Structure 1
């Protein structure tokens, strides 16, 4: 297995992008309850704090903060992907490589990670996450997308309900492979 260079800071806050292999798939929203259960299970065995999350049909973005002496976010993603994959019917295409490796062919192998560096970086990534359904044309306003922490953050007073986001095109945030 490859040893990818990842920034690891115990107790760090990280932005993630995780993609399905099939970019036309809608598995994540079709099986939202299974995804939520997989995340709950991972959090129970290896706690982490979810700062923000948005789930789109074929990918997701989130910000997590790990506990003080913990920097192992990869094991959590492995657990989430595995639990989700086991919980849904086998309907996806599987390549020869998937079959050889006994993989389902649901998730891209890697994920994109960015270590949050300061309050400005945190705020920009929070905005990016909550604006993402609008960016991809799934909705006209962040408040209309049901699979997002935006609603919880409105209740906490972090965002106004009519938040439209800033000009996301000028922000240097998000994933580089989308």
Structure 2
């Protein structure tokens, strides 16, 4: 996303033409695989700014995601809400409905936070999705989500981050299940480069 800004106008035009030739939108993340059961959904704050800078804001976003997405039969299986982005592992996605709901949620929060922070301008970048291809990919994604606050140096342990489904899994399945999942499906380089400028 940020590399595009460094390109010449001619290079930008070439990239847009390549995207259009593939049937992708000119600038938004493409959503080419639409027939899988599970997806990793990611949305980030514009330019990775820390607009989700309080536990209250992160919890508010999480509540809105559950309220607005689950009524459309989308099941949120795992989540992490960080100061500048979030990840959801979700099931039963209808992409048109998902896009509409995320626009509503993000738009409402952008307006509210801009007023609270006495700012104006863009708050969110478009969401992206990755189809989950296998059982290994599913559990590695689950671990990636739970490990994300450690990866980004917000905490030393996944259990120290409040807005995470790791606590639900701990309560429902126990620490040993989580530990075994981590050993059997290690994160390694999963996600490397996804959120680099």
TM-score, scaled relative to structure 1: 0.75
Structure with higher helix content: 2
2:81 maps to 1:65: no
Detail structure 1 runs of 4+ shifted over 6 Å in the superposition: none
Partner of 1:177: 195
For residues 76 and 8 of structure 1, what CA distance do their matches in structure 2 show?
19
2:142 maps to 1:126: yes
Farther-moved stretch of structure 1 (73-82 vs 116-125): 73-82
TM-score, scaled relative to structure 2: 0.69
2:123 maps to 1:106: yes
- The number of residues matched between the two structures is 165
Closer/same/farther in 2, CA of residues 20 and 71 from structure 1, 3 Å limit: closer
SS at match of 2:86: strand
CA contact (8 A) 2:59 2:163 kept: no
Farther-moved stretch of structure 1 (52-61 vs 78-87): 78-87
How far residue 173 of structure 1 moved from its aligned partner, in angstroms, is: 3.8
For residues 128 and 193 of structure 2, what CA distance do their matches in structure 1 show?
7
Partner of 1:7: 32
Closer/same/farther in 2, CA of residues 92 and 160 from structure 1, 3 Å limit: farther
2:160 maps to 1:144: yes
The structure that has the greater radius of gyration is 2
Spell out, residue by residue over 1:109-161, the C-alpha distance to the aligned partner (whole angstroms, 9 max, x if none): x2221001111100010000000111111111111111100000111216538
Partner of 1:75: 100
Closer/same/farther in 2, CA of residues 33 and 131 from structure 1, 3 Å limit: closer
Spell out, residue by residue over 1:31-83, the C-alpha distance to the aligned partner (whole angstroms, 9 max, x if none): 1243134213422552311110001111111111116xx34332232232123
User: Is there any run of 5+ residues in structure 2 with no aligned partner, and where?
Assistant: 1-24
Q: CA RMSD in A?
A: 3.0
